[in-house]
Amino acid sequence: MRTLIVGAGIAGLAAARRLLELGLEPDDLRIVDKARGVGGRMASRRIGTPAGVARFDHGAQFFTSRSETFSSVVAAAVDAGAVVEWTRGFGPDPDGHPRWRGSAGMTSLCKWLAADAGLEPLLGHRIMDLRAELADHPADAVIHTAPVPQALATLALGAMLPEPTVAQQLAEIHYKPTIAVLLAPQIDPTGLAAHGGAQYVDHPDLAFVADNRAKGISPVPAVTIHLSNERSNELWNATDDDVLTRALAWAADALGEAGDRKALVGHQIQRWRYAGPVDIHPDATVVWGNDPVVALAGEAFAGPKVEGAFLSGRAAADAVFVR
């Protein structure tokens, strides 16, 4: 069964590993991703500063593992040095449940998932029209793990959408945006707990602030600010300058003097249009067709976030394999 996997984020890599477990020949597996590296929204970035390279997690900040399946993979990644425990809770009253992070940034887990299984995704390869791609590289099955609106766009061009009621259900999966503000200050922030993370639940302006040096991934001061979904929506078309001004004001307590704009040695603004689904599809994957069989997977299916995306990728692999 020649299989194309679109996306080398956690869902795509989980699907690929599952197909190999089921006995698929590695030569029958083709994984492509438009990005320059694996990981998708488990994203890390660097900014050069006079003091050294500042490293940031700018998408997902941490992940949890509850299911046995994902926990066993996380345990293997911990043994391999790709994942470490960050903390057991962010608030004043931690719940004691481990929050994991990649050892050198969130991409570490995906890099390890690929290397451990001998997977070599084709990077920098964007699928525009899935049917055209399949004309060049035929496949019996496709597992598509892009955010659902992006996946549907590549399917629509080649008239590969599922029957109308399913297509309509998929078209109703909407996403919340998040603006990430990356700061390279000269000094570390002073208003965060020793582990360096602050999670804001139901905060009007902020969703998360992380000191990436305290977190253990940056050798020099590096702060990630995630604006709340509401503020991200409001500021989506604002200038980077405006976003920076407001983010510094909203995060002033967490930053302390590190928030002095004149003393920043670097900054970047990243807009995540598809930060997370508003509603989750009830099934772990949606599958249709026979020539090829197509499955959608990712965090929008059955369970959100990193673990949900992982489990959805595996479910898609199981579903296409039995067809």
For ligand FAD, the binding residue among 56, 63, 70, 86 (CB under 6 A) is 63
Residue 154 found at the interface with ligand FAD (CB under 6 A): yes
Residue 305 found at the interface with ligand FAD (CB under 6 A): yes
Which residues in 250-289 contact ligand FAD (CB under 6 A)?
Answer: 272, 275-276
CB 52 within 8 A of CB 60: no
User: What minimum distance in Å lies between the beta carbon of 68 and ligand FAD?
Assistant: 18
Binding map of ligand FAD across residues 170-209, x = CB under 6 A, - = no contact: --------x-x-----------------------------
CB 156 within 8 A of CB 246: no
Residue 226 found at the interface with ligand FAD (CB under 6 A): yes
Residue 133 found at the interface with ligand FAD (CB under 6 A): no
Burial of 163 (0-12, 13-18, 19+ CB in 10 A): exposed
Residue with nearest beta carbon to ligand FAD: 40
CA angle 219-220-221, nearest 5°? 135
| Residues composing the chain | 323
User: What minimum distance in Å lies between the beta carbon of 37 and ligand FAD?
Assistant: 9
CA-CA-CA-CA torsion sign (48, 52, 53, 56): negative
For ligand FAD, the binding residue among 11, 114, 235, 311 (CB under 6 A) is 11
Alpha-carbon dihedral 60, 63, 69, 72, rounded to 10 degrees? 120
Report CA-CA distances (Å) from 263 to 58, 156, 242, 244, 260: 21, 48, 17, 13, 5
For residue 155, the SS3 value is helix
Backbone angles phi, psi at 247, to 5 degrees: -60, -40
Residue 318 found at the interface with ligand FAD (CB under 6 A): no
Residue 150 found at the interface with ligand FAD (CB under 6 A): yes
User: What minimum distance in Å lies between the beta carbon of 155 and ligand FAD?
Assistant: 10
The residue ranges that bind ligand FAD (CB under 6 A) are 6-12, 32-35, 40-42, 59-63, 126-127, 145-147, 150, 154, 178, 180, 226, 272, 275-276, 298-299, 305-306, 309
